[in-house]
Amino acid sequence: MPLLTVAKIQSLKPRATVYRVTDNGGLSIEVRPTGSKLWRYRYRYFNRANMIGLGAFPAISLADARQARDAARALLRSGRDPSAERQAEHMRRKLATTNSFEAVARDWLEVKRHEWTSGQFEKELARLENHAFPWIGKHPIAEVGVIEIRPLLTRLVKGGHIEQAHRLRHELSRVFRFAVALMAATHDPAAALRETLPARPKQNYAAITDPAQAGELLRAIDGFGGTFPTACALKLSPMWFVRPGEIRAAEWQEFDLDAAEWVIPASRRKLKRSQKESARTLPHVVPLSTQAIRILRELHPLTGHGRFLFPGARDSRRPMSENTVNAALRRLGFDRDTMTGHGFRHMASTMLNELGFNGDVIERQLSHKEPGVRGVYNKAEHMPERRKMMQAWADHLDALRAAGDKVVSIGRKRA
């Protein structure tokens, strides 16, 4: 018969030294001088005495302690050591914490950090922090499966963010493959969800390529009523047709107005990090037309004392927002389906090709890499032709601006 009752346990008083009162089947309660009462289970495994703790009374009741004792005795009957099993469970829990999805994902991010620009690293981190960590971050990565991942993707799709859903699934897949390599997981459940996502929407940047509409756009830009730096950025965007990020972060030190050149360093070009940091990667040169130089000389007294041509409205130590040009176009009445900052590249490429300029010259000025073997061996920069083309293009924009509804042609040129 059991020797302990709840009343008896409650009546046990502390003494100067530790003492134990037994129940049966190896269970006892240990009373300490501090007054704490701890459950103990004594047993023999391969003829060796051992004892494990089962918790403290009253948090662990008498019934709970007896149940834990019975579970330990069942392990002994199956040939397993309760103490070893407890240590293994503790290790499993520790590994589960160490190998949580968030912990493994952050390790993966650190491994990849040297391959990315700081901006790319922040984007990858933000995607996980915003769309994954709050829901699956604390889960052991080996226990995260399709059922946990699907809601993350569905949430984005329902919100209309299909491209973001595809990017998140791909990033999750990379984290899981990293975990498999570390033996922290056995498979990549994100891969199984590839076919469940709607097709990516075609990412065509809206652009005006009709000459008459281009003239309307240019006249609207001339009438822009916002800040002078933003007005200058709008006027220069069609002339230069560089990537929006390159123009908004343009620095005065990159310009030589006497040489009529803007030299964009490799570190600011759209390249892989290894290419940005390579001494062999050339900068991108934008020849400056007389019209562009005139605008820059007007802008210099206002922002030339600082770093950026187009400093931020709130903090001049940072460049203007990446949405400034697009917001200005919206203000002028050109919605996102009509014209974008990136659309100036499409406009220039389309119209310059239609005007008969050499395709290689246009592609070089767009800072595009030629595909295939030809791209590896063709290192021609076509600078003389590019200088002529950029001045002719600025002249053509002036003609479009002045033409009204008339169609303008500068003839078929071969730069």
Domain of 288?
211-403
CATH number at residue 222: 1.10.443.10
Single out the residue of 246, 407, 415, 218 nearest to residue 329, CA to CA.
218
- Using CA atoms, how far apart are residues 363 and 194, in angstroms rounded to an integer? 34
342 carries an active-site annotation: yes
Reply yes or no on whether 44 is catalytic.
no
Q: Is 243 a catalytic residue?
A: yes
First to last CA, the chain: 105
Residues 131 and 29 in one domain: no
pLDDT for the residue numbered 115: 81
Selecting among 66, 268, 342, 346, the annotated active-site residue is 342
pLDDT of residue 182: 87
**How far is the C-alpha of 310 from the C-alpha of 68, rounded, in Å?**
70
Selected catalytic residue, list 131, 166, 235, 243: 243
Q: 80, 110, 142 — which closes off a domain?
A: 80
Neighbours of 301 (CB within 10 A): 8
- pLDDT of 96: 56
Q: Which two tokens stand for residue 100?
A: 């949580």
377 is catalytic: yes
Residue among 345, 364, 386, 396 flagged as catalytic: 345
**pLDDT, averaged in runs of 10, over the chain (415 residues):** 84 94 92 94 90 92 92 90 81 67 93 83 94 94 94 94 94 95 91 91 78 93 94 96 92 96 86 73 92 97 95 89 91 91 93 92 84 44 92 96 65 46
* Cα–Cα dist 100/143, whole Å: 9
Q: Which of 348, 240, 223 is nearest to 293 (CA)?
A: 240
Enter the pTM of the model: 0.56
Per annotation, catalytic residue among 368, 382, 388, 413: 368
Query: What CATH number corresponds to the domain at position 156?
Result: 1.10.150.130
* Single-letter amino acid, residue 296: L
Catalytic residue, chosen from 20, 272, 294, 369, is: 272
What CATH number has the domain bearing residue 58? 3.30.160.390
Give me the catalytic one of 48, 280, 305, 377: 377
| Residues 106 and 229 reside in one and the same domain | no
Nearest partner of 145 among 105, 193, 197, 108, judged by Cα: 193
Domain count, the chain: 3
